[in-house]
């Protein structure tokens, strides 16, 4: 059977650590490299409930998108929840590997999985990474087109339908009757990328965690440019409609679409490299934090 070193080598071939942002620290977080791996669980977040489910399923390895230790820590004692999780993993022989911004940018990674789910064709990265070792375009986010234009309201329903259920759903800003032809997708927190999205000239931007001020500024600029175009002046891109419209999605929900691919790709790559088969499953419990929405 493969050991943890062999499986992490596969993971870091599929989702190279060199793609990670400078502030990020993905990779192996917990585990003994010579430990055998026969069962892998995938989940968006390494919460206590997720870890308990992985352990109860006798997982040897838990692969998550979000880090357990997002910021610097100086202790992992039982006084804190992170220490409790590390202890639970080690006591039960379950390793933890994280594919964060490296998996965002990879081929068949987080960005591509979401863009494919929403029906985008002719895709390219929103911010490319120059990687001569990759046979495919890689980078953060995806830009593509729909097979046929559809109104924003219908495209928003498509997005909502593809996402795992959350209590607070999605939010949409823009002309609901405007045709959507081109789309930018950035799973995860995306309001730092408005300049790149506007430069791409897309009709709608699908992302998460949009804060009030950046989103308001982006919408106001889009409305003003649309008004200038209606006056016959050159501003921005497109026709009379404001661009881009915004679709704000639950953070972990959109990123978890990646596991549709990882569930196939990781066991297949391990089999190809080691000749050994693995059991893999997706822990689909909701890990977005909100339990109730009051309107």
Cβ atoms 46, 31 nearer than 8 A: no
Residues 238 and 155 in one domain: yes
Angle at the Cα of 25 from the Cα atoms of 22 and 30, rounded to 5 degrees: 170
Residues 245 and 199 in one domain: yes
As a whole number of angstroms, the distance between CA 63 and CA 173 comes to 34
The answer to whether position 289 is within a domain reads no
Residues 151 and 267 in one domain: no
Number of structural domains, the chain? Answer: 2
As a whole number of angstroms, the distance between CA 111 and CA 290 comes to 24
Residues 89 and 214 in one domain: no
Tokens, residue 19: 């793609």
Residues 94 and 148 in one domain: no
Residues 134 and 208 in one domain: yes
The answer to whether position 291 is within a domain reads no
Residues 50 and 167 in one domain: no
Residues 153 and 24 in one domain: no
Please give the DSSP secondary-structure letter assigned to residue 36: B
The answer to whether position 128 is within a domain reads yes
Angle at the Cα of 294 from the Cα atoms of 291 and 295, rounded to 5 degrees: 140
Cβ atoms 237, 201 nearer than 8 A: yes
58 marked as binding residue: no
CA proximity to 246, closest of 177, 159, 172, 169: 172
Please give the DSSP secondary-structure letter assigned to residue 118: T
Residues 120 and 226 in one domain: yes
Angle at the Cα of 186 from the Cα atoms of 182 and 191, rounded to 5 degrees: 105
Specify burial of residue 15 (Cβ count, 10 A radius: 0-12, 13-18, 19+). buried
Residues 237 and 125 in one domain: yes
Cβ atoms 194, 211 nearer than 8 A: no
The answer to whether position 288 is within a domain reads no
Residue 230 belongs to domain with CATH number: 3.40.1390.30
| Crossing angle (nearest 10°) for helices 259-274 and 110-117 | 130
Count Cα neighbours of 248 within 13 Å in the Cβ-side half-sphere.
15
Residues 148 and 203 in one domain: yes
Domain with 63, as residue range(s), is 4-100+255-282
pLDDT per residue as tens, the chain (295 positions): 999 999 999 999 999 999 999 999 999 999 999 999 999 999 999 999 999 999 999 999 999 999 998 877 878 888 889 999 999 999 999 999 999 999 999 999 999 999 999 999 999 999 999 999 999 999 999 999 999 999 999 999 999 999 999 999 999 999 999 999 999 999 999 999 999 999 999 999 999 999 999 999 999 998 888 888 888 887 777 677 788 999 999 999 999 999 999 999 999 999 999 999 999 999 999 999 999 999 8
Which are the contacts of 107, defined by CB distance < 8 A and separation ≥ 6? 134, 135, 136, 137, 138
């Amino acid at each position: 059977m493969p050991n943890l070193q062999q499986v992490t080598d596969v993971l870091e071939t599929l989702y190279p650590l060199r793609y990670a942002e400078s502030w990020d620290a993905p990779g192996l977080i917990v585990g003994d490299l010579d430990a055998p791996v026969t069962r892998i669980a995938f989940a968006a977040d390494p919460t206590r409930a997720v870890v308990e489910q992985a352990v109860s399923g006798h997982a040897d390895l838990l692969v998550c998108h979000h880090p357990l230790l997002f910021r610097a820590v100086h202790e992992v004692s039982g006084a804190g929840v992170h220490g409790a999780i590390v202890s639970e993993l080690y006591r039960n022989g379950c390793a933890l590997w994280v594919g964060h911004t490296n998996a965002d940018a990879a081929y068949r990674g987080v960005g591509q999985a979401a863009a494919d789910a929403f029906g985008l064709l002719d895709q390219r990265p929103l911010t490319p990474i120059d990687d001569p070792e990759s046979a495919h375009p890689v980078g953060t986010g995806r830009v593509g087109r729909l097979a046929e234009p559809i109104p924003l309201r219908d495209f928003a329903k498509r997005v909502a339908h593809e996402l795992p259920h959350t209590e607070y759903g999605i939010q949409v800003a823009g002309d609901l009757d405007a045709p959507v032809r081109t789309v930018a997708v950035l799973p995860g927190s995306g309001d730092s990328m408005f300049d790149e999205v506007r430069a791409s000239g897309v009709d709608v931007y699908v992302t998460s965690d949009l804060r009030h001020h950046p989103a308001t500024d982006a919408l106001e600029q889009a409305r003003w440019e649309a008004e200038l175009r209606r006056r016959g002046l050159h501003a921005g891109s497109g026709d009379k409609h404001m661009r881009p419209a915004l679709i704000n999605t639950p953070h972990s929900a959109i990123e978890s679409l990646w596991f549709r691919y990882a569930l196939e790709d990781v066991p297949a790559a391990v089999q190809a490299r080691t000749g050994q088969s693995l059991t893999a499953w997706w822990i689909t419990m909701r890990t977005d934090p909100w339990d109730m929405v009051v309107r």
